[in-house]
Structure 1
Amino acid sequence: MPQILTLVAPPGGLDAALLPRLRDALQALGASTGAADWLAPEEAVDLPFDGLAAEQAVAAARAALGEAPVDAIAVPAEGRRKRLLLADMDSTIVTSETLDEIAAYAGLKEEIAAITRRSMNGELDFRQALIARVGMLRGLPVSALDRTWEATALTPGARALVATMRANGAHCTLVSGGFTFFTGRVAALVGFHAHYSNTLEIADGRLTGKVGEPILDRDAKLATLKRLAAELSLPLEAALTVGDGANDLAMIQAAGLGIAFRAKPVVAAAARARVDHADLRALLFVQGYRAAEIRED
């Protein structure tokens, strides 16, 4: 079977009774299907299929699943395991938008968060929105960054994603429109090989309200993907990218496996693959990793 449809749910949330319904839906469209292969009991399963485009298979799966909190992603059977990972940070590897959380210490969280939402949904130019938001924080003490970091939480599955891919020879990079103050700490905590992001200018212990140049935006994320792939002598097909915002969309669309993770509507609609319900371990299951192969460190 040349393609694999992977179903992933939060632990304990995948009912085997869904499989006959799914198989019937695929076969009704002319697909042939193989035997189901459980990667993790009640959490992830592979269903090989042939004779149907990946987009059709995913659409049929979502229709068959109805309101069940299950993600469905179809990939070619060959080359499933990727050798390069580029991951966004805010609302992807960590659960929050760190700039919005910094803004809370200036009493501007709601105002800045509203700009962030519009930027991440592609309604505002990322560069201009970033400059405007950081400008509003001029004079804020650096201690606000430390307090924000103390409250920052990793997304479930983040450590497992990076540890497992690293153990299998993949190069793992954090690429963010956020700031080095956080990406450096997240990279060290999670185990990324490298991190790329923006720089907050600081003088006399306070934010100046300026962002260092050059600004890492949507185009820079795509350029980073292409540069790293070239440096590692890998085709883009061997890359996995993941993010949630409009500034991630170019790299998501360019990679062999690009995943919109709990993404903004414009990103979820445009990405070939998306994860709406499961945690970041879903990115391992989609690559064919079994539960017993997943590492935490």
Structure 2
Amino acid sequence: MTEPRSFTATLIAAGRLDDSLTRAVIERLAAAGLAASVAAWIDDGDARDLVLIGDVVAARDALVGWEGVDLLPVTTGPRLRKLFVADMDSTMIGQECIDELADYAGVKPQVAAITERAMQGELDFVGALKERVSLLKGLAVGVLAKCLAERVRPNPGAKTLVGTLRLHGATCLLVSGGFTAFAEPVGAMLGFDEVRANLLGQADGLLTGAVEGDIVDSRAKLAVLEEWEAELAIARDMTMAIGDGANDRPMVEAAGWGIAYHAKPALAAAADARIEHHGLDALLWGMGLPRSAWVEA
């Protein structure tokens, strides 16, 4: 009979974590079949480590629905990872760029409905992307910059997360099933080392309604993780990946630490840890880094 495993999980309740809340969490974990004991504070009142014995998946799911509380089980390997691969839309930024572009074209309801089904894993991503892009045919190329300026905003903690990871020696890659017109400026703004995304076809100042070149889909995202793992000559447990939808699942499952950020069920069920109530910088607590070690944006 296999002995229950022992592992660390970071308990996060920014601004309100105290001994009383910690005890309540430990009771909830016990009800889910996990033995828990208190380890060190990372930041008083914000985040502390627990040592758990039991099932990692049960720990990941035990606090779901508890407002303002996240628990991040930490998988084996070094806590501070050397490779970070991130999705863009609804992960590093708060928008789905293709949906916002569709608003300018007057077809947002149609496009957003397809996007939602694709992110839930109900549609083939490549086919869904081509269908949505076809609805943008004839939109002026200048609208891309307008949409970027008016609609696209980073999610809370995005720049702090990337800046801190790079300070501590990590390579950071933005890999998007969206478009270079958004991913490249977003990647530059947030400090990513490299960006991969899709190229929208253009002719005579208008969108052609097609995607040019190879499409960045779930397989391409996984390939980027594997490519850079080999390039950096690091073990898989030194990698981490984050996303929100079904298209991110292969890379999140493959990474040493896979994170679901405010994610669709198709991804949340597959990730090692889930962030539901905090910003992206909460991952830094999960890696054992106090605020004093962060690069504040």
Matched, 1:40 2:40: no
Corresponding position of 1:106? 105
Q: Which residue in 1 is equivalent to 2:195?
A: 195
8 Å Cα contact 1:245-1:267 kept in structure 2: yes
| Identical-pair percentage | 44
Measured after TM superposition, the shift of residue 73 of structure 1 is 1.6
Question: Helix, strand or coil for the counterpart of 1:199?
Answer: strand
> 268-277 or 96-105: which moved more?
268-277
Deviations 1:266-293 (A, max 9, x none): 2112222111111101111111111111
The answer to whether structure 1 residue 120 and structure 2 residue 123 are counterparts is no
1:213 equivalent to 2:213? Answer yes
In 1, Cα distance between equivalents of 2:67 and 2:140: 46
1:2 offset after TM fit, Å? 5.2
1:67 aligns with 2:69: no
Distance 2:36 2:100 in 1: 49
Q: What is residue 275 of structure 2 aligned with on the other side?
A: 275
Does the residue aligned with 1:165 lie in a helix, a strand or coil?
helix
Aligned partner letter, 1:295: V
**Residue number in structure 1 paired with 2:17:** 14
Q: Kindly tell me: are residues 76 and 210 of structure 1, through their superposed partners in 2, closer, same or farther at Cα, counting changes over 3 Å?
A: closer
Which residue does 2:285 correspond to in 1? 285
Task: Give 1:157-196 correspondences, 5 Å limit.
Answer: 157-196=157-196
2-side partners of 1:128 and 1:78: how far apart? 37
User: CA-to-partner distance for each residue in 1:122-173, whole Å, 9 max, x for gaps?
Assistant: 0000000000100111110012111110021110100010000000000000
Equivalenced residue count is 291
Matched-pair contact (CA < 8 Å) for 1:4–1:77: no
Partner of residue 5, structure 1: 9
Find the aligned partners of 1:73 and 1:294 in 2 and give their Cα distance: 18
Deviation at 1:235, TM superposition (A): 1.6
SS at match of 1:258: strand
Structure 1: which 5+ residue stretches go unaligned?
none
Aligned-pair CA distance for 1:5? 1.3
Q: Which amino acid aligns with 2:93?
A: V
Alignment partner, residue 81 of structure 2: 82
TM-score norm. by structure 1 comes to 0.92
- Aligned match of 2:222: 222
Q: Could you say what secondary structure the match of 1:105 adopts?
A: helix
Superposition deviation, residue 4 in structure 1:
1.1
Distance 1:23 1:80, change over 3 A: same
2:137–2:209: 8 Å Cα contact kept in structure 1? yes
Change (3 A) 1:193 1:136: same
CA contact (8 A) 2:262 2:275 kept: yes
Q: Give yes or no for contact 1:2–1:78 (8 Å, CA) kept in 2.
A: no
Pair 1:177–1:160, CA change in 2 (3 A): same
Alignment check: 8 A CA contact 2:260 2:273 kept:
yes
Alpha-carbon distance, 1:23 to partner: 3.1
CA offset digits 1:218-257 (Å, max 9, x no partner): 0110011001101110122111100001110100000011
Q: How far apart, in 2, do the equivalents of 1:8 and 1:95 lie?
A: 21
- Indicate if the aligned counterparts of 1:16 and 1:42 stay in contact, CA closer than 8 A: no
The question of whether the paired residues in 1 share the 8 Å contact of 2:89 and 2:97 is answered with yes
The answer for the alignment partner of 2:56 in structure 1 is: 54
CA positional deviation for 1:264: 1.1
Structure 1 counterpart of 2:256, which letter? G
Amino acid at match of 2:285: F
> Which amino acid in 2 is paired with 1:181?
A
Amino acid at match of 1:207: L
Would the aligned equivalents of 1:2 and 1:76 in 2 still touch at CA under 8 Å? no
Contact 2:75 2:256 in 1 (8 A): no
Question: Structure 2: which 5+ runs fail to align?
Answer: none
CA shift in 2, pair 1:180/1:30, >3 Å: closer
The 3 A distance-change label for structure 1 pair 58 and 246 is: closer
